[in-house]
Amino acid sequence: MRFACLIVTYTSAKQTLRLVQKLDNGDFDFYIHLDKKVDIETHRELFDMPNVFFIKNRLNVKWAGYTVVEASFNGLKEIRASGKEYAFINLLSGQDYPLKSADYISKFLATQIGRQLIKHWDFETEWDEAFERIYKYHFTDKVFKGRYLVQRLVNSIVRQRKVPTTMRFYGTSSTFWTLSPDCAYYVMDQIESDRKLVRFLRYTWGSDEFVFQTVIMNSPYKDSVLNNNFRYIDWSGGGSHPKLLTTEDYEKIIATDNILGRKFNMDIDENILDLLDKHNSV
């Protein structure tokens, strides 16, 4: 049984290498979408690993823009084109890190076959900020002088955007998921086959945090969803970014059943990664 890890990253090549090495127990293949803004030569140490594949169609990804979704779709297309069979596809960032050993994660995922591991909230009842994300214009992927002024002006005229779908919206503050390939491809195909919906999504905010959830929860796959992505993420700091996990978080992290955590920065605190590795080697 094999698993694919789709890593969408723009950060440290050294940290991505460490992430891959810690999961590389023979059960995982790694597909890396490296942001087009980053020189791919910085990741040269990964080039010769036989189970590491760099996504060819790279994008200049804008945080909270629809380009984040497109980057994951480009990765999914290349995974599907590989012809390889995987039990799950795991979406990761370059600042994720395993909280359990690779063998533990492999065995855990084997027990979850038939499920979709993705967190979701109902936008209408559980996420107050969802209205602004969807029904207001956001020019996140656009680059021009005065774009935020234009955005405010447009939104002062258009009070609420018309949504070109009857789907009920679902999402969460966490982009990351573990899905069966057929489910992940289903989401991509459903979105990309609807040009009006794609145009609409290009002007939303943080679409990567609701596109997969929305399509899945409006599909036959909804009955197989386990509302848990088994990621440890600390949002206690407030705002749009999770807390950077450091050594002081170690005891809280290992007390959970989560298999992956984010976000880490080894240039700021590499000791937390060393502690996790030591814990998982026992």
- What ranges do the domains of the chain cover? 3-116+173-192+220-281
CATH number, span 3-116+173-192+220-281: 3.90.550
Taking residue 234's Cβ as centre, other Cβ atoms within 10 Å add up to 15
Listed in sequence order, the DSSP H helices in the chain are 13-23, 67-81, 102-110, 123-126, 130-135, 147-157, 181-192, 195-201, 211-217, 250-254, 271-281
pLDDT of residue 238: 77
Higher pLDDT, 127 or 78: 78
The contacts of residue 21 (CB under 8 Å, 6+ apart) are none
Half-sphere exposure of 255 (CA within 13 A, CB side): 4
Q: What is the pLDDT of residue 126?
A: 83
Dihedral angle sign, alpha carbons of residues 133, 135, 138, 141: positive
Closest CA to 13 of 29, 31, 36, 34: 34
* Separation CA 122–CA 128 (nearest Å): 10
Confidence grade of residue 128 (pLDDT, cut at 50, 70, 90): confident
User: Of 282, 254, 133, 253, whose CA–CA distance to 203 is shortest?
Assistant: 133
User: Residue 70: is its pLDDT beyond 80?
Assistant: yes
Q: What is the band of 159 on the pLDDT scale with cuts at 50, 70, 90?
A: confident
| Residue 242, pLDDT above cutoff 80 | yes
CA distances from 124 to 20, 152, 169 (A): 38, 24, 8
The answer to pTM > 0.85 is yes
Q: Using CA atoms, how far apart are residues 246 and 248, in angstroms rounded to an integer?
A: 5
